[in-house]
Amino acid sequence: MKPDKSENSHINDNDLSNGLKNHMFWIFGYGSLIWKTNFPFVKKYPGYIKGYTRRFYQFSPDHRGTHDLPGRVVTLLPSTNESRVWGIAYAIDNRDIDNVCAGLDLRERAGYTKKVIQFHTKTNEDQIPSEVTVYIADENNEWFAGEASIQQIASRIAVCRGTSGSNPEYVHKLAAEMRRIAPEEDDKHLFELEMALKSIENSY
């Protein structure tokens, strides 16, 4: 696999091998971090974590909604040991760890905390991480929205917008990314929500 050349990575080819050997931190994105990193990284790999399910059970009072009308975004819920959540693991160079973590702590400030979880991937390379750091909003945080029907979640998302854009855009981008990086996976909750949201949008 060739070095990542996206605008998010400032590491040049000469620094790549050293960065991969010396970095100490991997971030796993399963929501908007998949397509909107806004931080420098050395390398990225698609993969998954086990024991969790992805659900739109977290309110967003800033990025995809407001304090008065918070949108809904994804968090992870504990599940069976074989449940899989696909996303992207990013390698952060030593020189950038403090700044990246500070930026992500601010970005995920509405209820998310960091956990270290085992990482799995189908990619066959030497530098695959064994563990990744994941931002998870559990049910005890103040912005936890909780369970609701797909239609109820879609109806809320359809009318919400925040500083990062519309809530429907978040759903559509996440669904598109899941089909791209894990086309064989059937993320039922996400895809049913996408269909319900499209139905609402088509009725306007």
Name the burial class of residue 93, with classes exposed (0-12), middle (13-18) and buried (19+) by CB atoms within 10 angstroms of its CB: buried
Name the burial class of residue 14, with classes exposed (0-12), middle (13-18) and buried (19+) by CB atoms within 10 angstroms of its CB: exposed
Say whether 108 is catalytic.
Answer: yes
Catalytic, out of 108, 169, 185, 192: 108
What is the chain written as a DSSP string?
-PPP-STT----HHHHHHHHHH--EEEEESSGGGT---S--SEEEEEEEESEEEEEEEEESSSSS-SSS-EEEEEEEE--TT-EEEEEEEEE-GGGHHHHHHHHHHHTTTT-EEEEEE-B-S---TT--SEEEEEE--TTSTTB-----HHHHHHHHHT-EETTEEHHHHHHHHHHHHHHH-TT---HHHHHHHHHHHHHHHT-
Residues designated catalytic: 108
